[in-house]
Each structure stands twice: as structure tokens, then as C-alpha cells.
């Protein structure tokens, strides 16, 4: 394929069939399966071909569009797939068939694409401010066999009322992984979530010291209450990760919000 900058690429360059299918080395896949079992996640074997197709597409497009640094099978399986799937128990407890889920700042598609693979009846919208990444996501979604709706769109969450009024105050769940500081995402989550909806935030080991206190303090001003902070490690000995749940319970207090914006 000619070496062209992303802005000169055609829509055809996003198509999955443009790229060879890669398979996971058996040792890496079995390690991934064992890690899933250790975390009490569903058996990933029924989804292996879909995960390999998603990986192949990601690696192919990543050659000319910066989507991820995690391109080896072992890194992808652990830090993209396994990390994303740790949200499954949380989302399955919060969602029913056709529940609306928004992945905020999807980028290369994680956690949104793996969650869509395993949660086949929910309606997913993956949003990112960068149109090229949305083009990639919209080419990836048809890879996944599912009955629920799935699409990607380009806008910032707080601009949903202008960009996609049908999605404003509509989602039961909003997820965010590796997007930005938690407190800075509260205005986006507020505009996307229905009343009683849950903001699910994935953070690293520094959360309790660097971001958590300010996030918890700011939540009431943005109409949220923090209800849970779950700690886990992807494998024994790894750094602690956090899954934070904040429920949209009230209205925003514009005067108090100014302290955090």
C-alpha cells in the first residue's frame, strides 16, 4: 500500500478485507484464557475468531493511522482485550437487552469493541472527536456478529445536544478508558446519561492519590454520586487498577461547577 498521510486515504483503506487475517499464537491465547478465568470473566473461546479479526484490522490500519502502540499479540490480549473485558461484570449487572451504552473517547475501539463482541443485544455508540478514528470504528463494527445496534460518531460528549440530540440524556451507561482526567469528563457524561445512568471510569494505580479525591469532591456539583471504586489487577503482581462508578442523580450546579472547569 502506498505510503500516504491519513488525510489522503480513501474510505476503502478502512475496510477490514484490505488486511490479512492474523491469528493469535496458541500460547498467548491460552494465557489470555487463563487470565480471564482468574478474573471470573466469561470464556473467551467462542469469540476468538472475532477478536482475531478485530486485531487484524487494528494492526492493518495502524500501519498508517496512529491507533495504538499495543500491536504484539501478547500485549494486545492483555492490555487491550483483557483490560476492556474487566468491565463485563459491571455492565452486565447494569444493562438489559437494548440498553444504550456510550463509549466516550473510543480511539482505537477499547473498551467498546470487545464489550460489543460479548454483549450482543445492547445498543452501543462509540464516540471520538477525531473523524479518522470514527471512520476506523465504523469499519470495525460490522466485523462483530450481534443483534443490537452499533455505530460510531464524531463529537465531544458535552456537544451531544447539537451533534446528536437523539443521544442526549439517553444512555444507561457511559464508559471511559484512557481518555483524560475524570473530573474533566463529568460534563460529557452528564449530557450523555439519562437520570439514574452510570458513569463507568477506568483508571490506573495513581487514581487514589492523583485524581480520586478531586473527582469525588466535584461529582455533586455535576449531578453525580460516586457509588463504587473496585480495585483489581489484570494478573497477580500487576499494578492495581480502578473501576469507578458514579451515578447521575441530580442537576448540575453551574455556580459550583466553575470551581472545577
pLDDT at site 4:
77
pLDDT at site 93:
95
> For 44-59, what is the mean pLDDT?
98
> For 101-127, what is the mean pLDDT?
97
> For 151-170, what is the mean pLDDT?
96
Q: Decide if 182 contacts 244 (C-beta within 8 A).
A: yes
Does residue 63 carry a pLDDT above 80?
A: yes
pLDDT above 70 covers a percentage of the chain that reads 99
Does residue 5 carry a pLDDT above 50?
A: yes
Does residue 256 carry a pLDDT above 90?
A: no
pLDDT higher at 46 or 253: 46
Q: What share of the chain is helix, strand, coil (3-state, %, to 5)?
A: 45, 20, 35
What whole-number distance in Å separates Cα of residue 100 and Cα of residue 136?
Answer: 21
pLDDT at site 70:
84
Q: Band of the pLDDT at 90, cuts 50, 70, 90?
A: very high
Assess whether the previous peptide bond of 75 is cis (omega < 30° from 0). no
- b/e map 86-98, b = 16+ CB within 10 Å: bbbebbeeebeee
* Residues 133-159 pLDDT 10s: 999 999 999 999 999 999 999 999 999
pLDDT at site 9:
83
pLDDT higher at 225 or 257: 225
What whole-number distance in Å separates Cα of residue 116 and Cα of residue 10?
Answer: 26
pTM, full prediction: 0.94
* Residues 21-42 pLDDT 10s: 999 999 999 999 999 999 999 9
pLDDT at site 25:
98
pLDDT at site 149:
96
* Residues 188-243 pLDDT 10s: 999 999 999 999 999 999 999 999 999 999 999 999 999 999 999 999 999 999 99
Q: Decide if 41 contacts 89 (C-beta within 8 A).
A: yes
Q: Band of the pLDDT at 1, cuts 50, 70, 90?
A: very low
**Average pLDDT across the chain, whole number:** 94
Q: Decide if 77 contacts 105 (C-beta within 8 A).
A: no
Amino acid at each position: 500500500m502506498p505510503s500516504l498521510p491519513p488525510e489522503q486515504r480513501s474510505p476503502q483503506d478502512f475496510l477490514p478485507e484490505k488486511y490479512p487475517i492474523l491469528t493469535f499464537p496458541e500460547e498467548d491465547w491460552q494465557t489470555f484464557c487463563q487470565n480471564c478465568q482468574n478474573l471470573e470473566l466469561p470464556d473467551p473461546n467462542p469469540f476468538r475468531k472475532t477478536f482475531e479479526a478485530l486485531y487484524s484490522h487494528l494492526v492493518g490500519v495502524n500501519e498508517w493511522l496512529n491507533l495504538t502502540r499495543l500491536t504484539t499479540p501478547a500485549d494486545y490480549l492483555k492490555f487491550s482485550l483483557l483490560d476492556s473485558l474487566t468491565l463485563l461484570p459491571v455492565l452486565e449487572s447494569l444493562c438489559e437487552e437494548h440498553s444504550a451504552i456510550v463509549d466516550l473517547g473510543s480511539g482505537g475501539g477499547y473498551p467498546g469493541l470487545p464489550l460489543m463482541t460479548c454483549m450482543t443485544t445492547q445498543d452501543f455508540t462509540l464516540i471520538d472527536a477525531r473523524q479518522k478514528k470514527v471512520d476506523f470504528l465504523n469499519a470495525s463494527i460490522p466485523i462483530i456478529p450481534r443483534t443490537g445496534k452499533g455505530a460510531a460518531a464524531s463529537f465531544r460528549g458535552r456537544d451531544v445536544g447539537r451533534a446528536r440530540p437523539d443521544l442526549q440524556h439517553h444512555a444507561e451507561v457511559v464508559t471511559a478508558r484512557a481518555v483524560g482526567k475524570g473530573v474533566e469528563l463529568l460534563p460529557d457524561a452528564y449530557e450523555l446519561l439519562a437520570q439514574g445512568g452510570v458513569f463507568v471510569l477506568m483508571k490506573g494505580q495513581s487514581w487514589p492519590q492523583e485524581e480520586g479525591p478531586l473527582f469525588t469532591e466535584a461529582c455533586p456539583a455535576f449531578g453525580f454520586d460516586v457509588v463504587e471504586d473496585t480495585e483489581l489487577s489484570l494478573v497477580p503482581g500487576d499494578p492495581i487498577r480502578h473501576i469507578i462508578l458514579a451515578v447521575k442523580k441530580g442537576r448540575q450546579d453551574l455556580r459550583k461547577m466553575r470551581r472545577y472547569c
